[in-house]
Amino acid sequence: MSSSDILKLRHYCAYQERCHMEVREKCRELKLYGEEAEEAIAHLVTEGFLNEERYAKAFAGGKFRMQQWGRKKIRQALKQKQISDYCIRKGLAEIDPAAYEQALLSLAERKYQSLRGEQYLKRQYKTLQYLLQKGFEQELVREAIEQIAKKED
């Protein structure tokens, strides 16, 4: 493992938060395999360039704020990146419950309004499907839709 490889990996991690899986992929691109790659990752962790808890917090906060993903979708995406359950919990804890509820209501209302021409049940069903696909919990989605449907009456 050359110092230029470590330098490239440092830059890669400094540019934005990365998870171990992404860094392993980058190591493969740099032709670092097995023991060399693990050594490089350990080096980056020691130096503070790589921290999965920090990554999970940044990922969860970003996906929620920018793309308005729900907790379930964020959890699934982090699991696909092989993030530990502990780090996933820490990441999801970054999401403010009041902001989460507000985002859910806002998305629900916008979707429900966009379906004005549809029948009542179809409108509710399509709104429900949209919010579940965004990763929001079924119970919270049902409550939000009921709340919006009551306003319409």
Mind listing the pLDDT tens digit for each residue in 74-131?
A: 999 999 999 999 999 999 999 999 999 999 999 999 999 999 999 999 999 999 999 9
> Where in the sequence is the domain holding 80, given as residue range(s)?
53-93
My answer on whether 122 and 134 are in the same domain is: yes
Mean pLDDT of the chain: 95
My answer on whether 12 and 32 are in the same domain is: yes
Mind listing the pLDDT tens digit for each residue in 17-34?
A: 999 999 999 999 999 999
Class of residue 68 by CB neighbours under 10 A (exposed 0-12, middle 13-18, buried 19+): middle
Instruction: Please count the helices (runs of H) and the strands (runs of E) in the chain.
Output: 9, 0
pTM of the model: 0.93
Mind listing the pLDDT tens digit for each residue in 30-66?
A: 999 999 999 999 999 999 999 999 999 999 999 999 9
Give CA–CA dist 123/111, Å, rounded. 9
Give CA–CA dist 137/104, Å, rounded. 10
* pLDDT of 149 strictly over 90: no
Predicted local confidence at residue 115, as pLDDT: 94
My answer on whether 89 and 110 are in the same domain is: no
My answer on whether 102 and 148 are in the same domain is: yes
Give CA–CA dist 66/77, Å, rounded. 15
- Read off the CATH number of the domain in which 137 is found: 1.10.10
Predicted local confidence at residue 30, as pLDDT: 95
My answer on whether 143 and 105 are in the same domain is: yes
Retrieve residue 41's tokens. 């990752």
Retrieve residue 46's tokens. 């020691």
What percent helix, strand, coil does the chain show, rounded to 5? Answer: 80, 0, 20
My answer on whether 25 and 61 are in the same domain is: no
Read off the pLDDT band of 153 (50, 70, 90).
low
